[in-house]
Amino acid sequence: MKTHIIITGGSGFLGKEICRQASRLNTQVVSLSRSGKPRQIKNVDFATVTWVKGDVFDHAVWDEYLPDCRGIIHCIGILHEQPEKGITYKREIFETAQVIGLIAKTNGINDLVYVSAGAAAPGTPDGYMKNKLEAENFLQSLNLHLTILKPGMLYGPDLPETLIENDQVQKLLLDPKIRPHLYPHRPLPVSSVAQVALEAVLNTEINGKLSVDDIERLAANG
């Protein structure tokens, strides 16, 4: 019997919230990230999480967790490149998704959730969205039970600055000229996106591309 799910990028803003909600459901989780277990967390909130420190490109670090894996939620991504350190959109967005998709396919892990992006904020480099879309297309070619989440900005108390940014966006949404363009990509609580990501990997009835509207609706009905 498959015993756990794997979350890549589980120590990040969204990944950590997925881990927290999985623990509330008593769902066993393996979190894989370069930083491993986040600092200053309450273990009681993450009781079912195994924190693994490693790189998705280093298969030896997490091979042992694949045979009993029931599904993967892929949360790895970057907003800013650091080419001098080898941190590029292609590497951190497209190639990580490529590795995860192929590992899922090779190991018979059929359920995969990919956290993509619905729209980039003004000023976001073209390479960010380009690699997100290329990752989506590659994963779709593998014929897995795939769910692609396409939220805009996420906000939540773990990153107080996102609460301020959301307040600013909500004020912009009051402008009737701006609202039609901004509302389809409005910010979502990180808790809602985490909830839907978790439901998608555990519920075979959820699949395909999920927009902001879809995520909000599923979170409200969950």
Asked whether residue 120 carries a pLDDT value surpassing 90, the answer given is no
DSSP summary character for residue 94: I
The CA–CA distances, whole Å, from 89 to 2, 27, 50, 137 equal 33, 31, 28, 16
- State both tokens at 98: 């490529």
CA Rg value for the chain: 17
Q: Coil, strand or helix: which one is 74?
A: strand
Q: In the prediction, which pLDDT does 57 show?
A: 94
For domain 4-155+188-221, give the CATH number: 3.40.50.720
Q: Classify 176 as helix, strand or coil.
A: coil
Mean pLDDT, residues 108-134 taken together:
86
Q: Whole-number mean pLDDT of the chain?
A: 93
What average pLDDT does the segment 106-119 reach? Answer: 93
In this predicted structure, what is the pLDDT of residue 121?
Answer: 60
Give pLDDT, residue 122: 60
- Taking 3-state DSSP, the helix, strand and coil percentages for the chain, each rounded to the nearest 5, stand at 45, 20, 35
DSSP run (H or E) holding 177: none
**Alpha-carbon 165 to chain mean position:** 20
Average pLDDT over residues 81-91: 91
User: Exposed, middle or buried: residue 171 (CB in 10 Å: 0-12, 13-18, 19+)?
Assistant: exposed
Mean pLDDT of 188-217: 95
Residue 141: the pLDDT is 97
Please state the domain extents for the chain.
Answer: 4-155+188-221
